[in-house]
Amino acid sequence: MSESEVKQYSFSEVKKHCDNKSAWIVVQNNIYDITSFLNEHPGGEEVLLEQSGKDASDPFEDVGHSSDARELMIRYKVGEIIESERKPVKQKNTDWSSGNDTVSSDNSFKSWIVPIVLGILATIIYRFYFL
Ligand code: HEM
């Protein structure tokens, strides 16, 4: 039953809403009617109009929008892309607290080994051939 509450649209329907009279964008298979948000967008109206009528998931994620922005967009949601046209949602790991610190310090230790070994090798070769 809840399925019918969310309206489903195809990309060909979304494509019709591509100007400042009616602007829809798709982010992660959700459709947003951002017509009234165009001149409120902190990133400017231009970028939104450029993405209107199409899938803006990549540019949206590339900007690194804040969680505030993600909360804000919920109120503009008007539907979802029909099942057969949905694209796989890319999971961006924006959870900085999940901490890969130990891994990265491991990596930085490993990154020292190569120059050290190369240095030792170079010293041996130098001594062997030139002294
Ligand atoms: C409903 C959809 C969107 C909402 C609610 C939204 C909201 C916001 C908000 C609140 C900001 C201020 C910074 C932040 O809090 O992250 C922002 C900045 C920005 N947004 Fe969006 N945005 C949307 C879609 C897009 C799209 C599709 C693009 C396409 C490229 C875009 C490009 C930008 C840019 C370039 C900035 C400026 C970043 C900066 O100055 O550092 N936004 N947006």
Query: What tens digit of pLDDT does each residue of 59-68 get?
Result: 999 999 999 9
- pLDDT computed for residue 103 by the predictor: 54
For residue 56, which atom of ligand 1 is closest to its CA? Answer: 27
CB 6 within 8 A of CB 80: yes
The pLDDT value given to residue 110: 76
Residue with CA at minimum distance from ligand 1 atom 11: 42
- Residues 12 and 70 reside in one and the same domain: yes
Tell me the best of 29, 55, 61, 65 to mutate to test the pocket of ligand 1, counting ligand atoms within 8 Å of each CB and taking the most: 65
Residue 81 in any domain: the answer is yes
Name which of 24, 58, 55, 57 is nearest 38 in CA terms: 24
Strand partners, 31: 26, 79
Q: Are residues 80 and 105 in the same domain?
A: no
Which H or E element spans position 80? Answer: strand 77-81
Where residue 81 sits, what CATH number does that domain have?
3.10.120.10
Residues 13 and 56 in one domain: yes
Task: Kindly tell me if the per-residue pLDDT of 105 is higher than 60.
Answer: no
In the chain, the number of structural domains is 2
Per the structure, the complete domain to which residue 77 belongs is given by 2-85
| Average pLDDT over the chain, rounded to an integer | 88
